[in-house]
Structure 1
Amino acid sequence: MSLPTMRILSDQLQACGQLSAEDIRALAAQGVKTLICNRPDQEEEGQPDSHSLQALAESLGMQWYFLPVVSGQVKDEEGDAFAQILKSMPTPAVAFCRTGARCGCLWALSQRHERSGEELVRALQQAGYDMPDFFKRLTAV
């Protein structure tokens, strides 16, 4: 078993695609203290239920945050809510959704008051993201 590809967003936060129960056990064993689920339940058939994943994560001593975001429709307010989670969560942390893209968008929006759009685009590109439309949104004046 191997974990989904991890994208490094900061020293304390990584993002990835959908996690399984096995992935959560492996992350807990690696010392991850917080999981942030950015995927709505029942987005696609066969997707693990967030409540069962939350129960598992919490049984392993991890913090769990559920901030579901509709794919392709990440709002500034959701980025602000993500920023609040980042301020209070134990670290290190992993955020996940279907592919990890929403997590990257939320992270960038959570940082938009402290960092320039160009700086955020560079950070997302370094993490392996290629989202030209979202990059334009970040750099729009």
Structure 2
Amino acid sequence: MTTTKKLTDDLFVAAQLQPGDMAELAKAGFKMVINNRPDGESEDQPSSAEMAAAAEAAGLEYAHQPVVGSNISETDIDGFDAIVSLADTPVLAFCRTGTRCTTLWALSQADELDNNTILNTAADAGYDLSGLVGRLDQRRG
């Protein structure tokens, strides 16, 4: 099974998934999968339509929220937070490496959690988000 990394009891992240992963994720108890990759970002990634069909066949909810990792907007952050907040849990969000999804989560938590908690949670999952401190502070501003 694909490697998932826990951020919270309700949210996990992963690197690129394949359509064949969906049945295993459903068996593991996930309720929803969020794809944060724009279609065509790399040649080796399946399309969102392929991923949606596989998720539906496995009984999973599916959301495609394409986000450019180097240009995460406030709308992207709020949209991600809304999808996760409204979803049956647990949710698995994926992108190329999981960093983009973790960044979206971190920025969406700026009003709820302090920087150390956010950075330590990300680090425990294997992601160094220390470069986000200024943006986290800005979100609180």
Normalised TM-score (structure 1): 0.90
Q: What whole-Å deviation, never above 9, does each CA across 1:5-53 have from its counterpart, x for those lacking one?
A: 3221100111011001121121012121100000000001121011111
Q: Distance in 2 between matches of 1:60 and 1:7?
A: 21
**1:76-91 counterparts in 2 under 5 A?**
76-91=74-89
What's the C-alpha RMSD, in Å, of the aligned pairs?
1.6
Contiguous gaps of at least 5 residues in structure 2: none
Q: Distance in 1 between matches of 2:129 and 2:122?
A: 9
Q: Distance in 2 between matches of 1:131 and 1:109?
A: 10
1:60 alignment partner in structure 2: 58
DSSP 3-state at the match of 1:119: helix
Q: What whole-Å deviation, never above 9, does each CA across 1:68-120 have from its counterpart, x for those lacking one?
A: 11022222321111111111101111000000000000111111121122321
Among the aligned pairs, what percent are the same residue? Answer: 39
Given the alignment, which residue of 70, 79, 96 partners 1:72? 70
2:106 alignment partner in structure 1: 108
DSSP 3-state at the match of 2:13: strand
Given the alignment, which residue of 128, 131, 137 partners 2:129? 131
Deviation of residue 139 (structure 1)? Answer: 4.5
Q: Tell me the matched-pair count.
A: 139
2:37 alignment partner in structure 1: 39
DSSP 3-state at the match of 1:35: strand
Amino acid at match of 2:71: Q
Contiguous gaps of at least 5 residues in structure 1: none
Q: Decide whether the 8 Å contact of 1:118 with 1:138 is kept in 2.
A: no
Deviation of residue 132 (structure 1)? Answer: 3.0
Q: Where does structure 1 differ by over 3 angstroms across 4 or more consecutive aligned residues?
A: none
